[in-house]
Amino acid sequence: MARVVVDVPLAHLDRPFDYAVPDKLVDTVQAGCRVRVRFHGRLVDGVVWELGDTTDFTGSLQPLSHVPSGEPVLTPQVARLVRTVADRYAGTASDVLRLALPPRRSAAEKRESPTPDALPEPPDPAGFARYTAGPALLDALAEGRPARAVWTALPGEDWPARLVELCRAALSGRRGALVVVPDGRDLDRLAAAATALLPAHSFTVLRADDSPEKRYRAFLAASRGAAQVVLGTRAAMFAPVRDLGLVVIWDDGDDLHSEERAPYPHARDVLVQRAWLDDCAAVVAGTTRTAEGALLVESGWAHELVADRAVLRLAAPRVQALGEDFELARDAAARSARLPSLAHEAARKALAADTPVLVQVPRRGYVPSLACGRCRAPARCAHCAGPLGISPRPGPGGTRIPACRWCARPAATFDCPHCHGTKLRASVIGDARTAEELARAFPGAAMRTSGSTSGVLATVPGGASLVVATPGAEPVAEGGYGAALLLDSWALLGRADLRAGEETLRRWMNAAALVRPASAGGHVVVAADAGHPVVQALVRWDPAWLAARELTDRRELGFPPVTRMASVAGSPAALAEFLAALRLPEDADLLGPVPERPRPGQEGERERYLVRVPRASGAALAHALAEVQGVRSAKKVPEHVRVQLDPLDLV
């Protein structure tokens, strides 16, 4: 008898179903293999959850219809994780399995997965010697002990090499390792370090942009136990690593770690669950620290892995804010000018020293958005009310005419509906316009842009040049940047977002970490008020202080991660029916409704409620939400209600 989880997206069918194993398939069927079964008259895909000899079903069991392959793609450890994640996020096991298992490719299954010739020796501890407990962490991994750490990397750190050294320590103790990074550029650097430091065939890379067959081969190398180290992006959080001894996530504050498909799990939380279920080591790493990381340290679940302040001062660049009193006295326009004298001078010195200069701007494009020049109200299209912007491509006669970013209609004239002003100003200046301004300010300097519009650069040469990049697209410079200019800070700090301060510091520090140490002339200039806590954390290079402050503020206000939040969105009628059936925990707060921000393809009026509970009641909240989804699914209610636990965006 086989218990099968069928691929049916109905919440009330979220359980295994028993099927008889025909005699001809007894030698083929294994726990974790893919099967095809008859379900309600249809032939559907499924995965064998487990095999058994008895069943509670009193009728006659239907037989398995077809077994495409006996390859066990779902290990018992991952099956347990799938169930845990589904329960935590009020989802279904079939939804999580779609995230965990790549599509099958028969040609890949026919190929053998090569194995490494030998296990590596423990890594040289010199790389982690700059951190107080670094060598002790490597020893714990080599001995198979479940050490947990929140690692704040030093500026200029070769973090891909350090992460691979953690994997090597685990591998030397005959344990597997899993590392999850935000994007393909980070994965390329990590894979290059693994190639240099790990034995051939001891690791595999799960890359989202690989061909389906290549990705499935990499997956099979892990599930077969041939490669005990798995490196990948978000989807790799479910990778079937054998004898798992270590899970690592790099830059856990990046929103790319949050899955966009139901049940919307976050890679950091999934890996923390894996560390608990498999009793293995875990490292939450990054240049900065999130409030969730601070909570892990505060609760005692993890220890800090940081360097002494003396070591930090030797590695960090010099950081200055334009709002400092001395700078304001020297340059009265420093607070309002986009490129004041301090930033201009820092860039000039770096270029004169034949080093590149990084310029970070928060938005791509030329002038992504415009506002009324008199009252500063956002400029809207007279036809469709869409936002007005300026294209980098000049129109007839070499002029750039504002146009709607929704319907593309030009706005040759403008009349503000609030104050009847007729002039426009840039509310956010993009990377293309910034590059144009800098080209005029530094004639003759080589200019490069890195972003989604112009293409993301992985690296730049070490000579004198200006590199304009959007956050997350900053290329690595050979030898490090001589200076970094962090512009338009108010566009990041002024966002109506719970994580605005934390996210701003993450973006700034990721860019500033690419700059040379102060002893080598490295200089970072941030266009922001020096008294702002986020700016202070950057100037002092103390992300742990800001994370602890954020955690304290959120505890007082009842915000995540101290509490758990659920977002429930749908039409007003569907939400009223959903909430009427919802049995919330006694300590739950129901907030709303508010109009939901429209999503692509959605039509009609939609609202959103937020449900807040103490962290200890999170499981009860998830169970209550899943219960209502199951009832609505069984009744075949046509209107869908979107349920998301722990959403990143609470606006």
Task: List the structure tokens of 318.
Answer: 């010099």
What is the rounded distance in angstroms from the CA atom of residue 370 to the CA atom of residue 427? Answer: 5
What is the rounded distance in angstroms from the CA atom of residue 309 to the CA atom of residue 320? Answer: 18
Tell me if 419 is assigned to a ligand binding site: yes
> Is the CB of residue 522 less than 8 Å from the CB of residue 317?
yes
What is the rounded distance in angstroms from the CA atom of residue 29 to the CA atom of residue 84? Answer: 25
What is the rounded distance in angstroms from the CA atom of residue 50 to the CA atom of residue 16? Answer: 9
Report the candidate in 553, 570, 566, 552 with the shortest Cα–Cα distance to residue 608. Answer: 570
Cα 210 versus chain centre, distance? 19
Cα 539 versus chain centre, distance? 25
Count how many Cα atoms sit within 13 Å of the Cα of residue 155 in the half-sphere of its side chain.
33
What is the rounded distance in angstroms from the CA atom of residue 64 to the CA atom of residue 46? Answer: 10
Q: 303-305 and 369-372 as β-strands: parallel, antiparallel, unpaired?
A: unpaired
Tell me if 167 is assigned to a ligand binding site: no
- What three-state secondary structure class fits 330? helix
Torsions phi, psi of 221, nearest 5? -60, -35
What is the rounded distance in angstroms from the CA atom of residue 393 to the CA atom of residue 400? Answer: 7
Report the candidate in 357, 335, 332 with the shortest Cα–Cα distance to residue 344. Answer: 357
Tell me if 416 is assigned to a ligand binding site: yes
What is the rounded distance in angstroms from the CA atom of residue 292 to the CA atom of residue 561? Answer: 6
- What three-state secondary structure class fits 39? strand
Tell me if 280 is assigned to a ligand binding site: no
End-to-end CA distance of the chain: 49
- What three-state secondary structure class fits 486? strand
Q: Which residues contact 208 (CB under 8 A, 6 or more apart)?
A: 184, 215, 233, 234, 235
Gyration radius from the chain CA atoms: 27
Report the candidate in 96, 67, 92, 80 with the shortest Cα–Cα distance to residue 15. Answer: 92
Residue whose tokens read 């479910």? 238
What is the rounded distance in angstroms from the CA atom of residue 497 to the CA atom of residue 232? Answer: 29
Report the candidate in 131, 139, 167, 478 with the shortest Cα–Cα distance to residue 305. Answer: 131
Tell me if 33 is assigned to a ligand binding site: no
What is the rounded distance in angstroms from the CA atom of residue 318 to the CA atom of residue 349? Answer: 14
What is the rounded distance in angstroms from the CA atom of residue 266 to the CA atom of residue 109? Answer: 30
Q: In which region does residue 480 sit, left (phi positive, over 0), alpha (psi from -120 to 50) or beta (all else)?
A: left
Cα 606 versus chain centre, distance? 27
Number of H helices, E strands in the chain: 19, 27
Beta bridge partners of 590: 611
> Is the CB of residue 515 less than 8 Å from the CB of residue 320?
no
Q: Which residue numbers belong to the known binding site for Zn(2+)?
A: 372, 375, 381, 384, 404, 407, 416, 419
Q: Which residue numbers belong to the known binding site?
A: 372, 375, 381, 384, 404, 407, 416, 419
